[in-house]
Amino acid sequence: MYGNELDNFRPDIPELGHIPQIGLDGDAPVPDENPVRAQVPTTSEADFDGFQMPQFPLAGELSASETEMFKSVVEKYFGEDIQTYEAPSKITHSRSADDVEPDSKKCLLTDNGFGIGIPETELVRNLHYEEADTIDQTEIRKQFPILDQKVNGKDLVWFDNGASTQKPLRVIDGLSHFYKTDYSNIHRGAHTLAARATDQYEAAREKVARFINAPSTDNIVFVRGTTEGINLVAQTFGRKYLLENDNVIVSTLDHHANIVPWQQVCKERNAELRAIPIDKNGDLILPELERLITPRTKFISVGHVNNTFGTINDVKTIIKIAHSHNIPVLIDGAQSVAHTKIDVQDMDCDYFVFSGHKIYGPSGIGVIYGKKEALELLPPWQGGGNMIKDVTIEKTEFNEPPARFEAGTPNIADAIGLGYALDFVSSVGIHNIERHEHDLTEYARQQIALIPGITLMGNPQKRVSVVSFDIPGIPAPQVGQMLDKEGIAVRAGHHCAQPALRALGYEMSVRPTFAVYNTREEVDRLTDALRRIVGNTK
Ligand SMILES: Cc1ncc(COP(=O)(O)O)c(C=O)c1O
């Protein structure tokens, strides 16, 4: 889990020596020789920006006396700067500061139910949510009321998650609460509601940064979604840096959202768009990348996970190759962010974009992560309020990123809603989600492969959450309608990935895609329905 990262923040506090220094998953004590072990700051040297907050035992039971000891140690080392208090016991699985003090980001929680107020939110980013070992499907499904309905007389099966995911109560209720009690425009208001709304919007930015391990909230730009994010980067970068006869590289696996914007800007600048080819399994032929790169290659933009075959691309290798030629890289994370752990610093991408609605959040909100220098490279995109420092009739002085790219009133509520969605994902645990979805995907592939008359498409080496198939003789949209009659929602069509499908000789596919709330029983419902559909055509 996150054991190693937590280890880095373990304290060296003598008074705590007798308290078991267990990690979130009850892992072994940290060896003393751990080279990156944090030193305990004294109050005067406490560098709250420098990640020196000691990590106290976060899992397991602390006795009442240990709890008292913990509090006294915290007070000793942090004195006036820190506040300890009892946190509601019902939130033992969450470390979101918002759960304790809605208006404060200055807290972290421990499993035994007390929190520490800390003076810098920076620290909170380094704390991770506890993951249970398994997913409690019943509990999770209760959080998605939309699933509890009949469609065409049958229990709804939502297998259209690749297009968009359903929303948990945490998002639905959170949005409703925001509109009922705190709604205001942000950043410029002098009144209480403006302050509350601004705090929540910026807290959502903080949650995003933490979720993808961005170094700072300054790396996070809110946009409408992946499509807008890629258009923003393509247009700003392209118009400033692309010259005639330069080229940009995308991949054949990519969604149209990562092809068309680059095609448009290349056309405008008389540059060339190149694509990494794929093999018959739906894997990128990576050795081709080196052949495509020339001294005139200015940008590489590729998808992390393909939306039709579920291929997980080896983006770290792509980024390494690109950087060895000093080429910046954008990763389209629309299909990966909800399914696998994203660590943008480890990935080393220059930009990473994703949409809120594919990760249990609202539609109309998305994110561009950019390295500081990568965002600074880009000129402003849209002009207007918020993105400026000073305006005269003659000229404008622009804001620094991220404000530079957030002109006008943003999608305030949905950014906050995205924060709640990330809370939800974190509370379940992205590794648990990944494991669960992998199980469903492999089970579905095995079961569908057993049905004569159905062809599975693609067989990539590493994949998540997507199965695509063809029933020769029945057009995909018709299969989609037949499944809808059974209450099963799947996508059927070209999935905005025509180059990928065509490379494997298809125009369309039927595509069930899985999320945390789906079950093996639902996969059985799908395969039973498919058997009937195929049987009826004979
Ligand atoms: C890989 C990929 N990229 C980009 C997009 C576009 O996302 P959005 O429509 O949310 O902008 C999608 C949507 O399906 C996708 O699957």
Please state, rounded to an integer, the average pLDDT across all residues of the chain: 82
Tell how far the Cα of 394 is from the centroid of ligand 1, in angstroms: 39
Give, for 530, the enclosing helix (H) or strand (E): helix 520-536
Residue whose entry in the numeric block shows the structure tokens 């998540």? 464
Alpha-carbon dihedral sign for residues 428, 434, 437, 438 = negative
Atom nearest to 358 CA in ligand 1: 10
Tell how far the Cα of 163 is from the centroid of ligand 1, in angstroms: 8
Tell how far the Cα of 521 is from the centroid of ligand 1, in angstroms: 28
Across 217-229, average pLDDT: 98
Query: Is this structure's pTM higher than 0.85?
Result: no
**Are the C-beta atoms of residues 79 and 151 closer than 8 Å to each other?**
no
Rounded to an integer, what distance in angstroms lies between the CA atom of residue 9 and that of residue 268?
Answer: 50
Q: Which two tokens stand for residue 69?
A: 């000891």
Q: Residues 393-441: pLDDT tens digits?
A: 999 999 999 999 999 999 999 999 999 999 999 989 999 999 999 999 9
pLDDT for residue 136: 85
Mutate to test the pocket of ligand 1, among 335, 339, 340 (most ligand atoms within 8 A of CB): 335
Tell how far the Cα of 227 is from the centroid of ligand 1, in angstroms: 6
Atom nearest to 226 CA in ligand 1: 11
**Are the C-beta atoms of residues 107 and 97 closer than 8 Å to each other?**
yes
More confident residue, 415 or 83: 415
Rounded to an integer, what distance in angstroms lies between the CA atom of residue 78 and that of residue 118?
Answer: 9
368 contacts: CB under 8 Å, gap ≥ 6: 220, 221, 223, 229, 232, 233, 351, 352, 353, 405
Q: Residue 344: pLDDT above 60?
A: yes
Catalytic residue selected from 107, 266, 349, 496: 496
Q: Which two tokens stand for residue 107?
A: 């807290």
Q: Residues 226-247: pLDDT tens digits?
A: 999 999 999 999 999 999 999 9
Residue-range domain boundaries for the chain: 3-126, 192-426
**Are the C-beta atoms of residues 149 and 516 closer than 8 Å to each other?**
no
Q: Which of 46-55, 223-232, 346-355 has the lowest mean pLDDT?
A: 46-55
pLDDT for residue 65: 55
190 contacts: CB under 8 Å, gap ≥ 6: none
More confident residue, 39 or 311: 311
Across the beta sheet with 509-511, the strand order is 455-456, 469-470, 509-511, 491-493
More confident residue, 11 or 431: 431
Of the chain, the percentage scoring pLDDT greater than 70 comes to: 75
223 contacts: CB under 8 Å, gap ≥ 6: 229, 232, 353, 365, 366, 367, 368, 405
Across 70-83, average pLDDT: 52
The amino acid at residue 322 is A
Atom nearest to 257 CA in ligand 1: 4
**Are the C-beta atoms of residues 516 and 135 closer than 8 Å to each other?**
yes
349 is catalytic: no
pLDDT for residue 472: 95
Output Rg (C-alpha) for the chain, integer angstroms: 25
pLDDT for residue 478: 97
Q: Residues 172-214: pLDDT tens digits?
A: 999 999 999 999 999 877 899 999 999 999 999 999 999 999 9
Tell how far the Cα of 331 is from the centroid of ligand 1, in angstroms: 12
Tell how far the Cα of 72 is from the centroid of ligand 1, in angstroms: 50
Question: Could you tell me the pLDDT band of residue 84, with boundaries at 50, 70 and 90?
Answer: very low
Atom nearest to 304 CA in ligand 1: 1
**Surface-to-core class of residue 179, CB atoms within 10 Å of its CB (0-12 exposed, 13-18 middle, 19+ buried):** exposed
Q: Which two tokens stand for residue 508?
A: 């369309």
Q: Which two tokens stand for residue 446?
A: 């095995």
Q: Residue 367: pLDDT above 90?
A: yes
Across 165-169, average pLDDT: 97
Mutate to test the pocket of ligand 1, among 252, 255, 494 (most ligand atoms within 8 A of CB): 255
- CATH fold of the domain at 192-426: Aspartate Aminotransferase; domain 2 (3.40.640)
Give, for 220, the enclosing helix (H) or strand (E): strand 220-223
Tell how far the Cα of 444 is from the centroid of ligand 1, in angstroms: 23
pLDDT for residue 189: 73
More confident residue, 475 or 95: 475
**Surface-to-core class of residue 263, CB atoms within 10 Å of its CB (0-12 exposed, 13-18 middle, 19+ buried):** middle
**Are the C-beta atoms of residues 223 and 366 closer than 8 Å to each other?**
yes
**Are the C-beta atoms of residues 137 and 107 closer than 8 Å to each other?**
no
Q: Which of 20-24, 109-113, 352-356, 461-465 has the lowest mean pLDDT?
A: 20-24
**Surface-to-core class of residue 31, CB atoms within 10 Å of its CB (0-12 exposed, 13-18 middle, 19+ buried):** exposed
Q: Residues 322-332: pLDDT tens digits?
A: 999 999 999 99
* Maximum mean pLDDT: which of 89-93, 103-107, 515-519: 515-519
How many residues in the chain? 538
Q: Which two tokens stand for residue 379?
A: 């000129």
Of 99, 82, 102, nearest to 91 by C-alpha is: 99
pLDDT for residue 73: 54
**DSSP one-letter code for 115:** E
pLDDT for residue 123: 33
pLDDT for residue 69: 55
Question: Could you tell me the pLDDT band of residue 495, with boundaries at 50, 70 and 90?
Answer: very high
Q: How many CB atoms lie within 10 A of CB 42?
A: 11
Q: Which two tokens stand for residue 118?
A: 């800390």
Rounded to an integer, what distance in angstroms lies between the CA atom of residue 185 and that of residue 194?
Answer: 6
Residue nearest to atom 7 of ligand 1 (CA): 226
Whether residue 20 is preceded by a cis peptide bond, meaning omega within 30 degrees of 0, is no
Residue 231 Rama label (left phi>0; alpha psi -120 to 50; beta): alpha
Atom nearest to 357 CA in ligand 1: 10
Protein residues whose CB sits closer than 6 Å to any atom of ligand 1: 225-227, 255, 257-258, 303, 307, 332, 334-335, 355
